[in-house]
Structure 1
């Protein structure tokens, strides 16, 4: 039976962690070999769906997939209306670094399956576009 829960903790280096099932009960062990998305995306607090099997030491999650949480997406900003405050320089002007940071967060919230390389390519193009339109500084 497919279940849902939140990641309590996940150690990417060691490759394991625990899920708190939404329906209650004992925490469920999770291992990197059972992840269906990129390992770095599995962070504490993220919602997942999974199947439960009995392992040697108790309940164990399998086929662990991140759940999209569209209700947590930030509203889109209207860039045509002028500069926005992504992160600002000392003079209050939006910066490329601030935009990259907010854009990374927004991309991960929108689609948790994007790879680091995909995010870097999208960020580079958006920053280039924002500079060309004068929406950000340096």
Structure 2
């Protein structure tokens, strides 16, 4: 699934992803970011991920940045 980072709190290690055509925010935890080094996301980045039903709602797993904004 593809989406865009809406918000990411680097200090607390979590954020939210949105998808085109949906108003639902998808939770993302830093532990699910597939990256070397710092596992952070930046609002506006495009990402691919697997959508799962988490305990508190939609959750992203296996998050990969596909547009690093620079």
1:25 and 1:4 map into 2 onto residues whose CA distance is 14
The match for 1:58 is 57
After TM superposition, the structure 1 = structure 2 runs for residues 1-138 of structure 1, keeping only pairs within 5 Å, are 3-37=1-35, 38-40=38-40, 42-68=41-67, 109=70
2:20 and 2:45 map into 1 onto residues whose CA distance is 12
**Structure with larger Rg:** 1
Give ranges in structure 1 of 5+ residues lacking alignment: 70-107, 110-138
Give ranges in structure 2 of 5+ residues lacking alignment: none
Cα deviation for residue 68 of structure 1 reads 3.5
Following superposition, which runs of at least 4 residues in structure 1 exceed 2 angstroms of deviation? none
* SS of 2:58 mapped into structure 1: strand
* TM-score, normalised relative to structure 2: 0.86
Give aligned pairs, total: 68
Between 1 and 2, higher relative CO (CA 8 Å, sep ≥ 6) is seen in: 2
1:10 and 1:62 map into 2 onto residues whose CA distance is 15
1:55 and 1:68 map into 2 onto residues whose CA distance is 26
* TM-score, normalised relative to structure 1: 0.46
Cα deviation for residue 20 of structure 1 reads 0.5
Q: Deviations over 1:77-118 (max 9, x none)?
A: xxxxxxxxxxxxxxxxxxxxxxxxxxxxxxx62xxxxxxxxx
Contact 2:31 2:39 in 1 (8 A): no
The structure in which a higher percent of residues are strand is: 2
